[in-house]
Structure 1
Amino acid sequence: MEIGVIGCGKMGTALITGAIRSGAIEASKVHGYDPYPAAADSFREATGASTVAELDSLANCDTYLLCTKPQQAAEALGALPANQSSLVISIAAGLSIDWLQKHSPSDSRIIRCMPNTPALVGEGAAAFALGQSATTADAETAKTLLGSVGIALEVPEIQLDAVTGLSGSGPAFVFMIIEALADGGVRAGLPRAQALELAAQTVRGAATMVSETGMHPGALKDQVASPGGTTIAGISALEAAGLRSALIEAVAAATRRSIELGHG
């Protein structure tokens, strides 16, 4: 498999770096292109893969990872070779499988993905949907690439807007929670640096417990909240402030906006 990476920004670099580090692909089989030389240089230094100066120099690849901005995607896809059946894996936000198929060579097999920014530190949560012509082997390729920097789930395309609202936008919501927890620690008398370190580790540890124990978050919460104790007092304050409903509405609002962007 020869992989052409179109758009050598942070996410494309993270995915390829993770896949090479995990042994899923070889650096010698990856070739990147970016219209900005600085981005291409950074990609080459980070991954050990090669880069090309012109997009049509990727013609010998059989798999393409489309990491451009949405407004640049049509031009990039139009430059792909028309005489071969290629797999196109797109992480370009808001572009549907039908749109990607329409703008790609006719024999292309399409997979649409939604990764998130924690992929940059190997803790991504991604989902992908298969186009009509994509094969089981293509799905494994996408899962290998995305899974090398976190988890990767296959979903119907209709669910990708919800994925965008939850795991795509979710890191920003969690960053706000961490910041607020740290502010609470400062208010209670902790130095800022220590409060932030404790808040970040608390969120990391809680998330790990959910993932590794398989227990419902509510059950884990109940283990911490002893009768008449400090935790239940804090939980009562959160319920009064509407934390739960605010987070539900945040995911719903982000999902609606993803749908709007896809239609526009």
Structure 2
Amino acid sequence: MAAAGSDPWRVGFVGAGRMAEAIAQGLIRAGKVEAQHVLASAPTDRNLCHFRALGCKTTHSNQEVLQTCSLVFFATKPHILPAVLAEVAPVVTSEHILVSVAAGVSLSTLEEPPSGQLLPPTARVLRVSPNLPCVVHEGAMVIARGRHAGSSEAEFLQTLLEACGQCEEVPEAQVDIHTGLSGSGVAFVCTFSEALAEGAIKMGMPSGLAHRIAAQTLLGTAKMLLQKGQHPAQLRTDVCTPSGTTIYGLHALEQGGLRAATMSAVEAATCRAKELSRK
């Protein structure tokens, strides 16, 4: 946020999809920025109406966002981003902090794409990799900074994004791993939650109740791991008793190869993210 007595930060969004809306909503509800100081652009009103419902300002001009806001999130589809950068480049200044939310687009591509320099050579560029739970302000995000973004910009962005969940700075090489672990991991966890519930349904529990309890079990376990700082193995051990129900269930999971399958899923998703980044 701006220092006391200075003008408030104005935050812009080029692209107004679900992730952009989730970040804007998190910043506003946490009091990090006032809705009237948020400006979002998109080609049509289809998504901009969600920003207007939050009290934000909207436009169809990407350049207007850069001319109005110092901190700008680029939340377009990856294949559209190069054209958008070329469009706004003439109005980018040294005052801007530019943050890409586009999956698979490297910092080097943002700073100096193969087609030639688009942004000013000293542009302060960062990359953020969010995941879908940002929508409920429980996201897991990582940020990586470009050549001309310093620790102050990274810390500022990290502080802002913590309104949407957990946010940590990492080397860019770990961003694709985050995609495999946390971006794709949402689907892996949902698959496990569904399987847990279906096991209970098989044993006679009503479907709705089983799915609610499975989801709450995942939520409660995650909170314990984060708040207590325990290694998962410790909490797992705490739940096990000799000849009890849990060790019998864990034996069945090991027979099914749960660990190996999960590790392979993260590896496969990470490799695919790296492949898309190269393309």
What range is the shorter-chain TM-score in? Answer: over 0.9
How far 1:105 sits from its partner (Å)? 3.5
Matched, 1:8 2:16: yes
Aligned match of 1:252: 267
Secondary structure of the equivalent of 2:174? helix
Residue number in structure 1 paired with 2:103: 93
Whole-Å separation in 2 of the counterparts to 1:226 and 1:8:
50
SS of the equivalent of 1:70 reads: coil
Q: 1:136 deviation in Å?
A: 2.2
Q: Does 1:163 align with 2:171?
A: no
3-state SS of paired residue (2:128): strand
Of 134, 138, 148 in structure 1, the residue corresponding to residue 149 of structure 2 is 134
Equivalent residue letter for 1:90: S
Separation (CA, whole Å) in 2 of partners of 1:56 and 1:38? 19
Q: Are 1:57 and 2:64 matched, yes or no?
A: yes
The CA RMSD over aligned residues, in Å, is: 1.2
Q: CA deviation at 1:48?
A: 1.2
Tell me which residue corresponds to 1:22. 30
Per the TM alignment, residue 82 of structure 1 is displaced from its structure 2 partner at its CA by: 2.8
Task: Report how many residues are paired.
Answer: 263
Q: What SS is found at the alignment partner of 2:49? A: helix
Give 4+ residue runs of structure 1 displaced > 4 Å after superposition: none
Q: Is the 8 A contact 1:66 1:90 kept in 2?
A: yes
Residues 89 and 119 in structure 2, CA contact (< 8 A), matched pair in contact too: no
Match of 1:23, SS?
Answer: coil
**Which residue matches 2:231?**
216
SS at match of 1:140: helix
Which residue does the alignment assign to 1:48? Answer: 55
Q: 1:44 to 1:107 in 2, by over 3 A?
A: farther
In 1, the alpha carbon distance for the partners of 2:259 and 2:142 equals 24
In 1, Cα distance between the equivalents of 2:134 and 2:49? Answer: 20
One-letter code aligned to 1:109:
R
In the TM superposition, residue 81 of structure 1 has moved relative to its aligned partner by: 4.6
Cα distance in 2 for residues equivalent to 1:2 and 1:89: 14
Check if 1:122 corresponds to 2:132. no
Q: Which of 47, 60, 66 is the aligned partner of 1:39?
A: 47
- Runs of 5+ unmatched residues, structure 1: none
- TM-score under structure 1 length normalisation: 0.96
The residue number in structure 2 matching 1:111 is 126
Select which of 173, 186, 208 maps to 2:201.
186
Inter-partner Cα distance in structure 2 for 1:94 and 1:215: 32
Q: 2:58 aligns to what SS in structure 1?
A: strand
Q: Percent identity?
A: 40
**Unaligned residue ranges in structure 2 (runs of 5+):** 1-8, 113-117
**Cα contact 2:142–2:167 (8 A) shared by 1:** yes
Q: Could you report, residue by residue, the CA deviation over 1:196-220 in whole angstroms, capped at 9, with x for unpaired residues?
A: 0110011111111111111211111
